[in-house]
Amino acid sequence: MLTRKQYELLVYIERHLKQTGFSPSFEEMKDALKLKSKSGIHRLISALEERGYLARRHHRARALDVLRLPDNMLSHDTPATAPPEADMPPGFKPNVIRGDFTQRLSGVRTANDAGAIQLPLHGRIAAGLPIEALRDTTSYIEVPLALLGPGEHYGLEVAGDSMVEAGILDGDTVIIRKGDTAENGQIVVALVDDTEVTLKRLRRRGNSIALEPCNVRHETRIFPADQVKVQGRIVALMRTY
């Protein structure tokens, strides 16, 4: 599964290679994806390498090879949920779903008379290497009402081990209360550079925000405050044995 920005970058590199015979520069990729810094491009390329879509020939400039393409790049159909063209780099229409939660989410559904409701389950969120959470309006999870408070909620499946010391394991489902604020020390869904979404503990340090893992094998990442947007905070966790 690719994030929206990973998909956009892969499409852009593939088309640039076909048109010019060489890969685009980091500056060209940054401008095409409308990112603020080249660090976001570095993270996207590393993620595509790890997923087997790109290969980087080191010690050579403009040396990216596209190894494979996702299946939906072969389709000419763009669903109604695809991002508007105004948000896209010129010349292509990625067949993915916007990964932030600035739009209103689908409402909950009554599950039964036993004090439970069904919440929308919006894909997987990394608790290790950040990935963008993709919305899936066809999947739901049944949640006891006692776990919820006021506000809108949704579920996310956890991928990775960086929050294990907080009791959050790979494959768990976390219940998130939608919101754009959080207190220091709360575990939040954070959107970084408008490209990645990750589940981490939030710490404010002056004009910076630290996203802390709960696993000594993972490093804390620190960003300028304007590069991190809180998408919600964890209020419950569900696990299937």
Residues facing residue 18 across a β-bridge: none
For residues 228 and 202, what is the distance between their CA atoms, to the nearest angstrom?
10
For residue 99, what are the contacts with CB-CB under 8 A and spacing of at least 6? 3, 4, 132, 133, 134, 135, 191, 197
Helix residue ranges, H only, the chain:
4-20, 26-33, 38-50
Strands 153-159, 116-126: pairing kind: parallel
Distance of alpha carbon 13 from alpha carbon 203, whole angstroms: 36
CB atoms within 10 A of CB 98: 16
Amino acid at the residue 135 = R
Residue 39 in tokens:
């660090």
- Quick one: pLDDT band at residue 237, thresholds 50, 70, 90? very high
Closest by CA to 115, choosing from 144, 141, 140, is 144
pLDDT tens column, 22-44: 888 888 999 999 888 888 888 88
Quickly name the fold that domain 4-87 has.
Answer: Arc Repressor Mutant, subunit A (1.10.10)
Model confidence over 134-189: pLDDT tens digits? 555 567 888 888 888 888 888 888 888 999 999 999 889 999 999 999 999 999 99
Active site residues: 162, 200
Rg (the chain; Cα; Å): 19
Q: How far is CA 183 from CA 68, 109, 179, 221, in A?
A: 42, 29, 12, 18
CA nearest 105: which of 40, 39, 179, 172?
Answer: 179
C-alpha–C-alpha distance, residues 162 and 198, integer Å: 10
CA–CA gap between residue 148 and residue 174 (Å, rounded): 12
Residue scoring higher pLDDT (129 or 7): 7
Residue 59: the pLDDT is 54
User: If you search the block for the tokens 């990935």, which residue do you land on?
Assistant: 131
Residue count of the chain, please give it: 241
**Residue 143 near residue 238, CB atoms below 8 Å:** yes
**CA dihedral over 174, 180, 186, 192, signed as positive or negative:** positive
pLDDT, tens digit (0-9, with 9 covering 90-100), for 44-97: 888 888 888 888 776 555 678 888 887 656 443 333 333 334 444 444 443 333
Cα 149 from chain centroid (whole Å): 25
**Level-2 CATH architecture, domain 109-238:** Ribbon (2.10)
Domain ranges in the chain are: 4-87, 109-238
What is the C-alpha to C-alpha distance for residues 224 and 211, in angstroms, rounded to an integer?
11
How far apart are the C-alpha atoms of 198 and 201, rounded to whole Å? Answer: 10
- Residue 133: the pLDDT is 47
Do 182 and 188 contact (CB within 8 A), yes or no?
yes
Per-residue confidence (pLDDT) for residue 96, from 0 to 100: 34
